A and B are shown apart, each in its own frame.
Chain A
Amino acid sequence: MSTATVTLTHGPEELGEVRGRQRLAVLLLIAADAAFVLSLVFTYFYLRALDTEGGWIPQDGRTVGPTAGWVIAGVAVLSAVAYRWGELGIRGGRRGRLLAGSSAALLLVLADAALQTIQLGNLPMPTTDGAYASSFIVLAGYHLVHLVMTAVFGIGICNRARLGRFSAANHSHVEMVGLWWIWVAVSALLTAFTTSFVGT
């Protein structure tokens, strides 16, 4: 009842097949994450629409302007673009361009995380009062979580690019992380869009 992995007795599986599997799996993981993000967006709009006892924004509560959110989303988009640039490089076998692109993307993600942390650390409203504050914090906070996860993937890709693990023929990991990277940018835009609806 013991097994060995497939690769040994039967030679390596087709790269194309493996890539197809990985792609489907990453898309499914993104779907799951999207369900989570959409739950938070739903939370925001539902509480805003209900405005229970006029408590969406408390009497003396100040709110966060929409600009910062769009800036943060912009940086996320920029980093996805940089990553994509590197990914297109390795498609043509240019390892240097992959390393440059993914490093730039990684730095942008770290910068974005710093921006998001600064925003969350300097909120104009008390964190414990009002559904608006709560809904805003959880959306922005989850974007931060996204960025941290992306940074971990980015470190791996940069490191492996540095070690020369990718080639034009074999770079499915770069593609998979690329899909995730794009989704993070999209969800950052979604977050910025959502949080630009403030008052009721």
Chain B
Amino acid sequence: MTDTLTTAPADAPGGPPTVPAWKRAPIAPILGIFVVLCALLTPFALFVPAHLMGDAASAHMRGIESTVTAFSLASVPVAALVWAVTIYSIIGWRHRGSEPPAEEAPPLRGNTVVQVVWLVLSSVLCLFLLIWGLAVLRPTPSAASAGQPLMVEVTGQQWTWSFGYPDNGNATADRLVLPVNQPVQFRVTSKDVIHSFWIVQMGVKVDANPGETTLASVTPDRIGTFDIRCAELCGLYHAYMQTTVQVVSADQFASWVQAQPRATS
């Protein structure tokens, strides 16, 4: 890229032996950097965040992962453009020395076309984000109304979770077991301070507030054991306020819930 520095059009002013870089339109090398950056960032955006987030255990979480991937892809050209200009300005427009350079750069005080295009593009991107977000947000409540959801009461308390199954004869348990492919609605509350009920692989998170009941719903669609963590600092053992959720077949769930003790109400 440095060869752009040495060749200059004829209209360059005489004087200093090295012709200032700005005399040559920098578009081509910047486009080159832009393409290279896009080529590097695109696979990163496609695979890395989704891979780090792990295998989803619900359609909702898959929606979140594809959102992250989509947003990452959408931001690749933005980041690549900004960084291409930045990198080129370091390489191509540099001036070293202890004295300030001569003021030979073109005194650009703005460019209406560039500004309008920039504003329109960022507005369009913003609109895209909004529509995408609302679209992914939508199915969350309707999933619960699709079938008769299984109600699960979740209670946070420094520093454990406890669970109740009001639909199953008020069974109570200190761990969470869910039937696969069955819509579940969590009714979350707390006995003391704010906790946050987070099933990592299902993308479920809602605060457990004292004195309030908050709702979250999800349909687990994979059998296995997944992580529940508290996501709101709740005091001394916040870090250890974690447990697991087991997603099992409907039959296994029925027999498990039968065996649980009943709440004395």
Residues of A bordering B, CB below 8 Å = 52-53
Contacts and interface: CB of A to CB of B under 8 A. Distances in A.
Contacts of B212: 52
3 contacts: A52-B211, A52-B212, A53-B211
Contacts of A53: 211
A186 to B, nearest CB: 34
Interface of B: 211-212
Tell me the dominant secondary structure on chain B's binding face: loop
Contacts of A52: 211-212
A53 B212 CA distance: 8
- The 3 A-B pairs of least Cβ separation, nearest first, read A52-B211, A53-B211, A52-B212
Tell me the dominant secondary structure on chain A's binding face: helix
A57 to B, nearest CB: 16
A194 to B, nearest CB: 23
A77 B180 CA distance: 68
B170 to A, nearest CB: 22
B188 to A, nearest CB: 16
Nearest to B212: A52
A52 B212 CA distance: 8
A52 B213 CA distance: 11
A52 B211 CA distance: 7
Contacts of B211: 52-53
A58 to B, nearest CB: 14
Nearest to A53: B211
Nearest to A55: B211
A101 B212 CA distance: 53
B215 to A, nearest CB: 17
A47 to B, nearest CB: 12
Nearest to B211: A52
A53 B209 CA distance: 12
A49 to B, nearest CB: 13
A144 B211 CA distance: 32
A132 B212 CA distance: 18
A53 B211 CA distance: 7
A44 B42 CA distance: 51
Nearest to A52: B211
A52 B189 CA distance: 13
A78 B213 CA distance: 48
B192 to A, nearest CB: 15
B194 to A, nearest CB: 14
A12 B212 CA distance: 63
Nearest to B210: A52
A52 B209 CA distance: 11
A74 to B, nearest CB: 38
A48 to B, nearest CB: 15
A97 to B, nearest CB: 57
B72 to A, nearest CB: 38
